[in-house]
């Protein structure tokens, strides 16, 4: 019986365990940093949150015993916002109503602050109603209102942001305007021999009501503004996880690795396909799978009652996300083998979800997260799906940028895959199942011969010379060469005409064969 090289001692156990322990710890350290670091305190990272300010106030004149006084409440509020705003966190943009509406429609602003044309006049009406006999005998004046609107379609946090603006604005109006108006009203009342009642004085201290409402509520059947993030997660997972499933099953069916089903381990003859052909087949299966998964997801969305989106736009964009991620995932696996599964997990999921901007907007993420997410497929999928679901597929609201970036990922994946697989084939590094056993304690440095040729002492044998003894006993490993006591193993190219079975290999060190 061939010596497997396993001794079962502690040193061997430590050698086998060290790499796995290091990888698991490193992965979950990164996972903890990304998920906890990005969500623990988003307010502390808030910066440049765009809010539109619209001042349409026409102003008004208040007649006092000392002469007329012009009131410009809108101007005073605007000046107060400019002076007291935390510009590091909130980016106030003073625009007209048309520009504010455009920004809301395209998902540019988290919300708006609007001072209507009659704002100052209603404050004058309030002063006269509380201080003069004519005002008291007339109809109760309409209350002065500053309108704040939040856009839930932009972010789940928009109402929180605008609520903070509303609180600060209300406090500022009370502190800087209430006492002045109360003084003006007192002068008017004294001139007519009247006094200001307690209720009237309270109304004058809070002369303007700040009204917070929602601009364009979420579509029917949707009450969670994070829905586009979860939908984009499904599409990214369809590309990444789908590539992993397709790669493993196709490699097993082509004989490059065993197929394990419960206690059964199935081996098939190695197919006469090179690396490029195999990669093209995997890409083709991903392209076939993408529209099927996209259609099934849309069917589920319809079943659960999600509305408000264009079905065709959802379909083709979802296909684009799946294909772009899947092509890149396949290429990474083709380039670095099984390690590509871990790399894909990190790139598309671990780094993707917390930087997507779905749960926490990019304006409230740490700067390093924003830099990572700028070109992340997950972030682009979220922007595109949010545009389709909430902004009528508006190209400017993120869909256009997302399409170009995802196309870039797909093209980069195709180039990477073709270049790497062609290079490996030119070097003679064909993918074959290795049937012979090799020492279990061989070092990594012994695994591959220099790319220019075999290691010194290695033996290469042709198909005519090769004969695998008892080949059914060995479990093959993916790759072109394996270690053998310092000697390399080179796998001969498959023979299309026969002469030996595909997957037949020869090992350079005879001590590792029975």
pLDDT digits (tens, 9 = 90+) for 481-499: 333 333 333 444 444 434 4
- Closest listed residue to residue 171, CA positions, set 204, 123, 208: 208
Q: What is the mean pLDDT of the chain?
A: 79
- How far apart are alpha carbons 21 and 162 in whole angstroms? 47
- Domain-by-domain residue ranges, the chain? 47-214, 225-426, 428-514
CA 44 – CA 40 distance, rounded (Å): 9
Mean pLDDT, residues 213-238 taken together: 89
Segment among 128-142, 239-253, 350-364 with least mean pLDDT: 128-142
Comparing CA positions, the residue from 241, 260, 264 lying closest to residue 251 is 260
Looking at domain 47-214, its CATH architecture is 3-Layer(aba) Sandwich (3.40)
Query: What percentage of the chain's residues is helix, strand, coil (to nearest 5)?
Result: 55, 10, 40
Q: How far is CA 246 from CA 278, 327, 366, 374, 421, in A?
A: 11, 11, 36, 29, 18
Exposure string for 189-214, b = 16+ CB within 10 A, e = fewer: beeeebebeeebeebbeebbebebee
CA distances from 149 to 100, 145, 153, 171, 357 (A): 11, 13, 12, 18, 21
Write the DSSP string, 220-236: TT---TTHHHHHHHHHH
Tens of pLDDT, residues 215-226: 888 888 787 888
Model confidence at 439: pLDDT above 70: no
**223 or 105, which is more confident?**
105
Structure confidence by residue, pLDDT tens digits, 167-206: 888 777 777 776 677 777 777 776 766 766 666 776 777 7
pLDDT for the residue numbered 207? 80
pLDDT band at 139 (very low <50, low <70, confident <90, very high): low
* Neighbour-count burial of 252, counting CB atoms closer than 10 A to its CB (0-12 exposed, 13-18 middle, 19+ buried): middle
CB distance 217 to 153 below 8 Å: no
pTM: 0.77
CB 318 within 8 A of CB 401: no
Angle between helices 399-426 and 377-390 (to 10 degrees): 150
Whether the Cβ atoms of residue 68 and residue 22 lie closer than 8 Å to each other: no
pLDDT in the model for residue 381: 95
Residue 42 has a pLDDT of 77
Is the per-residue pLDDT at 314 higher than 70? yes
For position 5, what pLDDT does the model report? Answer: 61
Q: Which pLDDT does position 491 carry in this prediction? A: 41
Burial class for 342, CB neighbours closer than 10 Å (0-12, 13-18, 19+): middle
Q: Alpha-carbon torsion 464, 469, 470, 476, what sign?
A: negative
Token pair belonging to 298: 């849309």
Average confidence (pLDDT) over 317-336: 96
pLDDT in tens, 279-291: 999 999 999 999 9
Model confidence pLDDT, tens digit, residues 2-21: 555 666 677 777 877 888 88
CB 202 within 8 A of CB 311: no
The average pLDDT across 242-255 equals 90
- pLDDT above 70: residue 61: yes
- Quick one: pLDDT band at residue 458, thresholds 50, 70, 90? very low
């Amino acid at each position: 019986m061939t010596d497997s090289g396993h001794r079962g001692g502690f040193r061997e156990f430590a050698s086998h365990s060290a790499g796995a322990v290091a990888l698991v710890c490193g992965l979950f350290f990164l996972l903890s940093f990304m998920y906890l670091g990005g969500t623990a305190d988003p307010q502390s990272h808030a910066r440049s949150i765009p809010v539109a300010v619209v001042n349409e106030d026409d102003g008004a004149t208040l007649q006092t015993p000392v002469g007329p006084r012009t009131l410009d409440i809108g101007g005073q509020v605007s000046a107060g916002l400019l002076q007291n705003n935390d510009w590091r966190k909130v980016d106030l943009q003073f625009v007209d109503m048309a520009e504010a509406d455009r920004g809301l429609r395209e998902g540019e602003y988290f919300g708006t602050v609007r001072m209507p044309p009659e704002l100052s006049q209603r404050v004058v009406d309030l002063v006269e109603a509380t201080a003069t006999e004519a005002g008291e005998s007339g109809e109760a004046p309409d209350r002065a209102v500053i309108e704040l609107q939040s856009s839930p379609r932009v972010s789940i946090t928009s109402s929180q942001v605008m609520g903070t603006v509303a609180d600060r604005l209300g406090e500022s109006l009370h502190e800087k305007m209430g006492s002045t108006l109360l003084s003006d009203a007192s002068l008017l009342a004294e001139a007519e021999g009247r006094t200001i009642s307690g209720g009237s004085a309270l109304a004058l201290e809070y002369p303007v009501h700040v009204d917070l409402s929602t601009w364009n509520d979420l579509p029917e059947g949707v009450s969670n503004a994070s829905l586009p993030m979860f939908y984009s997660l499904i599409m990214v997972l369809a590309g990444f996880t789908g590539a992993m499933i397709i790669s493993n099953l196709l490699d097993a069916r082509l004989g490059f690795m065993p197929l394990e089903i419960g206690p059964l381990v199935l081996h098939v003859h190695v197919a006469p396909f090179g690396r490029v052909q195999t990669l093209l087949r995997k890409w083709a299966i991903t392209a076939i799978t993408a529209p099927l998964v996209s259609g099934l997801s849309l069917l589920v969305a319809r079943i659960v009652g999600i509305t408000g989106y264009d079905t065709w736009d959802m379909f083709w964009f979802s296909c684009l996300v799946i294909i772009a991620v899947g092509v890149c995932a396949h290429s990474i696996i083709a380039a670095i083998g099984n390690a590509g599964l871990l790399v894909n997990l990190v790139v598309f999921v671990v780094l993707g979800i917390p930087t997507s901007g779905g749960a926490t907007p990019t304006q409230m993420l740490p700067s390093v997260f924003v830099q990572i997410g700028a070109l992340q497929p997950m972030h682009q999928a979220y922007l595109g799906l949010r545009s389709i679901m909430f902004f009528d597929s508006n190209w400017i609201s993120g869909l256009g940028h997302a399409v170009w970036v995802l196309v870039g990922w797909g093209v980069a994946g195709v180039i990477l895959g073709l270049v790497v697989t062609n290079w490996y084939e030119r070097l003679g590094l064909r993918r074959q199942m290795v049937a012979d056993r090799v020492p279990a304690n061989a070092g990594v440095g012994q695994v591959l011969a220099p790319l220019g040729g075999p290691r010194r002492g290695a033996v290469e044998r042709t198909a005519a010379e090769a004969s695998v003894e008892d080949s059914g006993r060995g479990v093959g490993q993916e790759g072109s060469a394996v270690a053998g006591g310092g000697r390399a193993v080179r796998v001969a190219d498959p023979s299309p005409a026969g002469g030996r079975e595909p997957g037949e290999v020869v090992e350079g060190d005879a001590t590792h064969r029975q």
